[in-house]
Amino acid sequence: PSHDPSSLQGYAKGVLVDGRTVEVQRKPPASYGYDHVCDEHQTQSEIFESVGVPVTDAFLEGYHGCLIAYGQTGAGKTFTMQGPGEVDDNLDCDVNPSAPCVDDPNAQGLIPRVLQRIFQRVEDEINGSLLHPDPPIDQRPCDMQFTVKCSYLEIYNEQVADLLLPVGSTSNNPT
């Protein structure tokens, strides 16, 4: 039989996740509700479909969008947002064949998936492929310009860092 290494060391899972609820195992138990909660069993694709797609589609309809990954150190926030890193030896496919690869589209995080969806939609709009095959004249594709702006911020120890600033930049205050 397989054994969970944490149970062998006397540890037990202290937080249970159920869709939109987090239950903290303590006396008395505490339960917290959220729009969406992900646990260690959700795939990158499932996270994108349940969280990324609705936020991205609302953004494409003109609403502001924001995706936040929150959790303790080592919980998987960066992996969830970005996917596997290029320099992480633990995620190197040659070193660890069962690890998610940088080149594996199934391992992509929220950021590359959201950007891909946004720019595919822009391309579809420009090409008129979102329109009816034989649209009325007033609905035919026209010359359009699109501007996409984004921020990539990290909040750590109550300090905000703009992760899109060039390395060595003196200003780290996002606008």
Q: What's the predicted TM-score (pTM) here?
A: 0.69
Backbone φ and ψ of 8, nearest 5°? -70, -25
**Average pLDDT taken over every residue of the chain:** 78
Tell which residue, 83, 60, 70, 9, has the closest CA to residue 34.
70
pLDDT per residue rounded down to tens, the chain (175 residues): 344 555 456 677 777 887 778 888 878 888 888 877 887 888 999 999 999 999 999 988 889 888 888 888 888 888 999 998 765 545 555 666 666 677 788 889 999 999 999 999 988 887 776 555 566 666 555 567 788 888 888 888 888 889 888 877 766 555 5
Look at the alpha carbons of 67, 46, 157, 151 in this order and tell me if their dihedral is positive or negative: negative
Q: What is the Cα–Cα distance from 117 to 112, expressed in whole angstroms? A: 9
Quick one: DSSP state of residue 98? T
Q: What is the Cα–Cα distance from 102 to 82, expressed in whole angstroms? A: 10
